[in-house]
Each structure stands twice: as C-alpha cells, then as structure tokens.
Amino acid sequence: MGILNINDDSFYAGSRLANSESAIASAEKMINDGATIIDVGGYSSRPGADNIPIETEIERISPVIRDINKRFPDVLISIDTFRSEVAKEAIKNGAHIINDISGGGIDSKIYTVAAENNCPYILMHMRGTPQNMVDQSNYKNLFKEVFLELSEKIANAKAAGINDIIIDPGFGFSKTIDQNFELLQHLKSFAIFDRPLLIGISRKSMIYKTLQTTAEESLNGTTVLNTIALMNGAKILRVHDVKEAVEAVKLVSKELY
C-alpha cells in the first residue's frame, strides 16, 4: 500500500503533495514500483495536526481519486479518513477501501458507509484524536487493553454489517516508542483476531528517534522493521517507499522447493 498524502503537513516531507498533478505522478511511480493499493489521504494525522474542515478534506482527495481510478483502473484505492462524509464522497469518486485510523471511534457513522457500499474496512487502534493522542498512552497492560479495544470495535463493525475487516495495531498512535516496539515484538499475537494484519511503520518516529536521525534518513530502518513485521504475520505494508517494501515482501515470501 503506497501512501499518497494530499496535504502540506504530514510528518515526512517527502510524502507531502500539494496538488493533483504531483499526486498522480507519485501514484504512477508507486504503481510502477509494485503497489497494489494506493492510500489517499487529505487530513494530516501527525500528532498535533490541525483539524481541517470536512469540506477541505473532500476537496483535496476527490479529484485525485477520480484521476487514479480513471488512469489506473486495476489499482485498488483506499481512502485514509475517519470521517463518514469524506468516506462517502471518496467511494462515489472511485475508492474501494476505507482506512480509518480511529476504527470508528471518532465518527461511528463510517461503519454504515462501509457496510452500505460493501467496502473492506481497515480498523486501526488509536485512542483520542490526532490532536490529543500523545496524551492517551497511559496503559496499565498494553496488550490487554489494545486487544480489548480492538475486539470491541471489530464487534461494532460486524454488527453494522461490515464483512471484510482488516486490523492495524496503530503504531505511533497513542503509543510511546517503547510501546510500539513491544507491539512489534508480539505481533504474532494479533493472529487471534483471524483478520488480515496491516502494518504502518514507514519512516515513523519509533525508527528515527531510536536511531537518532530523521524521517528523511529512515528508509533502511523502515525496511528492517517491515521485514520483521512480514515474518510475524503482516499481510499489508503501508509505506512511503514502495520499491523497497516490495523487495522485502518478495524475499520474505520466497519459498524453497
């Protein structure tokens, strides 16, 4: 899954795309590099990001989704949003998947949008909002609470009529760096949900702060952690750098006969 951020505020400068033309060029490169899903987002979810109006988010993502759908009809498009109105408009414009960082915790109507359109739904674990999530990492038992909260949201999504649910542990969302690595070390435990597992750790602070570097210098660290994730059950990698992720998938999945 290639990341396409239609904003000027994402934590990684290399992913910020200010207009439709640059977004389409970036999407084309990722597709040529092997992406099978393009994840389009118009709302920056970095810690402390501005809470932009719904209308602005729709204006950013709609023309890009239409253009990708028209030019690359065989590629799946996911809409990265937690707002039901944005998800609804994205699907009208050609999106196939809803990728909700809040797992329905901010706008539960998004469950209905996914169900009514028979959309696969990516349900991520997060507490709070992008504006306050850094203050929501006080867990007494990280695994017990993350698993319980995911279980409750999966149950709510199923009750709403969603058939295809993909889960995301939410690396970097309402979790400290140490908590992120704790989740990564026990990634196999998420198999208990019997759902495809999406991992989004590309160039995040758990990498560059641990290595005392920057997001721009975190490609190698990203590949290392993506490889660990693949070896422990990850089925989808959400990344900025598709070529390197595809190579990791090919090497990890190589079978010897």
Tokens of 83: 């707002």
| Number of independent structural domains in the chain | 1
Which domain range does residue 157 map to?
2-249
In this prediction, residue 206 carries a pLDDT of: 96
Residue 72 or 254, more confident:
72
Check if the beta carbon of residue 207 is closer than 8 Å to that of residue 222: yes
In this prediction, residue 255 carries a pLDDT of: 65
In a domain, 257, yes or no: no
Q: In this structure, what CATH number is given to the domain that contains residue 216?
A: 3.20.20.20
Residue 83 falls in the annotated catalytic set: no
pLDDT in tens, 224-242: 999 999 999 999 999 999 9
Check if the beta carbon of residue 211 is closer than 8 Å to that of residue 221: yes
Q: Which long-range contacts (CB under 8 A, 24 or more apart) does 248-254 make?
A: 248/223, 251/227, 252/227
C-alpha span between 231 and 4 (Å, rounded) = 26
Q: Select from 42, 82, 47 the least CA-distant residue to 62.
A: 42
Is residue 52 predicted with pLDDT exceeding 90?
no
Q: Select from 192, 180, 248, 188 the least CA-distant residue to 219.
A: 248
pLDDT in tens, 152-208: 999 999 999 999 999 999 999 999 999 999 999 999 999 999 999 999 999 999 999
Choosing from 204, 209, 243, 254, the catalytic residue is 204
> Across residues 105-119, what is the average pLDDT?
97
For the purposes of burial, counting CB atoms within 10 Å of the CB of 185, is it exposed (0-12), middle (13-18) or buried (19 or more)? exposed
Lowest-confidence segment of 1-5, 69-73, 107-111, 135-139 by average pLDDT: 135-139
Please report which confidence band the pLDDT of residue 14 belongs to, taking 50, 70 and 90 as the band edges.
Answer: low
In a domain, 256, yes or no: no
Please report which confidence band the pLDDT of residue 20 belongs to, taking 50, 70 and 90 as the band edges.
Answer: confident
Please report which confidence band the pLDDT of residue 131 belongs to, taking 50, 70 and 90 as the band edges.
Answer: confident
Secondary structure (3-state) at 128: coil
Share of the chain above pLDDT 70, in %: 93
In this prediction, residue 18 carries a pLDDT of: 54
In this prediction, residue 48 carries a pLDDT of: 65
C-alpha span between 211 and 208 (Å, rounded) = 5
DSSP structure class, residue 105:
S
Is residue 256 predicted with pLDDT exceeding 80?
no
As a whole number, the mean pLDDT across the chain is 92
Residue 66 falls in the annotated catalytic set: no
> Across residues 54-60, what is the average pLDDT?
94
C-alpha span between 100 and 41 (Å, rounded) = 10
What phi-psi label fits residue 197: left (phi over 0), alpha (psi between -120 and 50 degrees) or beta?
Answer: beta
pLDDT in tens, 206-228: 999 999 999 999 999 999 999 99
Check if the beta carbon of residue 209 is closer than 8 Å to that of residue 201: no
Fill in the amino acid letter for 209.
Answer: K
Tokens of 121: 């739904």
CA 15 → CA 11, 27, 106, 119, 132, distances in Å? 8, 11, 25, 26, 23
pLDDT in tens, 89-107: 999 999 999 999 999 999 9
Output helix, strand, coil percentages for the chain, rounded to the nearest 5: 45, 15, 40
Choosing from 235, 238, 243, 254, the catalytic residue is 238
Tokens 């007494």 belong to 140
